[in-house]
A = this chain, B = another copy of it.
């Protein structure tokens, strides 16, 4: 490929989480003399109920080259599959018209899979971040499948890099860069803005930035589809039981999200005065400030393990979604059980902030990835390589 003077790198941002994990790379590509950025925004990043991530992106100064709606509504396993198919179809047209030399895709979501499949069949070299990590949920299968489609790998940890190579990828295609999510937060002022809870509108009683607070973010586990309402009720009981105020983020768009939202809404109806405020989204930096200053981060977001490690956030990880993922000492695990969760939260709140871990990087991933994108040899034919 590489028909253009500068290598044209197309990045597809699908969700708020996605964006935080790739923002520093977008900036590094944009500024790299040998690279040209094409930015596509799709999926839940376009939806109001996920907080208009597209607007956040544009406020950050990025030009959006194309938008594409790809979520088939339902939040069931069937619609997750259909959303993947729809995204492949439309991304193919977008790639056909934007003519990228490289497509860069983030992590392991269904939109990531769609990006990877579209690029692969179109003979566009595919670069991939976060390969080689081990988790739960369908993400686990999808992440490794994408590794088998990708031509350039940017794993976030040494262990992940070894896993990518062990799966049969050539060592020359693997660049251990750390996770770009760390870049975005490595050099910012992490103090909690006193107006943070005012600036973001959500539902529920106002939070007091002067008092300790919890942050909760629990997504559905697609491979445990149907159990979401029950699972979230355990977390709600544990969080509510602390009596502490909490900033709670609505779950992502995966299958089963409806079940979790339903649990949250039922709780709201019967607990109007519970000191829990529900948010749709924060900017990447404000989210970092939010968790950097919380008493405990609860749920199953990978941010507890990634950004949380770097920021030393006391975290309780619930259930199987992240249970197998590499993590630093800041994370304690709990099952889907209110007393287990409560006990872990109690210990973490008592412990307070942990020391910084650079397990997932130290803040220069964006630049390293941009350099590799500019310099790496491009080929589309892959081959399984076992020594």
Which residues of A come within 8 Å of B, CB atoms? 46-49, 66-74, 76-82, 84-97, 110, 113-114, 117-123, 134, 136-138, 140-142, 144-149, 163, 166-168, 203, 222-223, 225, 255, 258, 262, 265, 268-269, 272, 320, 324, 380-384, 386
Contacts and interface: CB of A to CB of B under 8 A. Distances in A.
Contacts of A88: 81-82, 84-85, 88
Contacts of A320: 381
A140 B383 contact: yes
A122 B81 contact: yes
B68 A93 contact: yes
B222 A258 contact: no
Nearest to A203: B269
B82 A222 contact: no
Contacts of A84: 85, 88, 117, 121
A142 B92 CA distance: 17
Contacts of A141: 120, 148-149, 382
A52 B93 CA distance: 18
A132 B69 CA distance: 33
A255 to B, nearest CB: 7
Contacts of A95: 78, 81
A377 B198 CA distance: 45
A66 B97 CA distance: 6
Given A120-B138, A269-B203, A82 B93 contact: yes
Given A134-B383, A168-B144, A92 B78 contact: yes
B74 A47 contact: yes
Given A93-B94, A140-B382, 9 more contacts: A78-B96, A81-B92, A81-B118, A82-B92, A90-B93, A113-B117, A121-B222, A123-B222, A144-B148
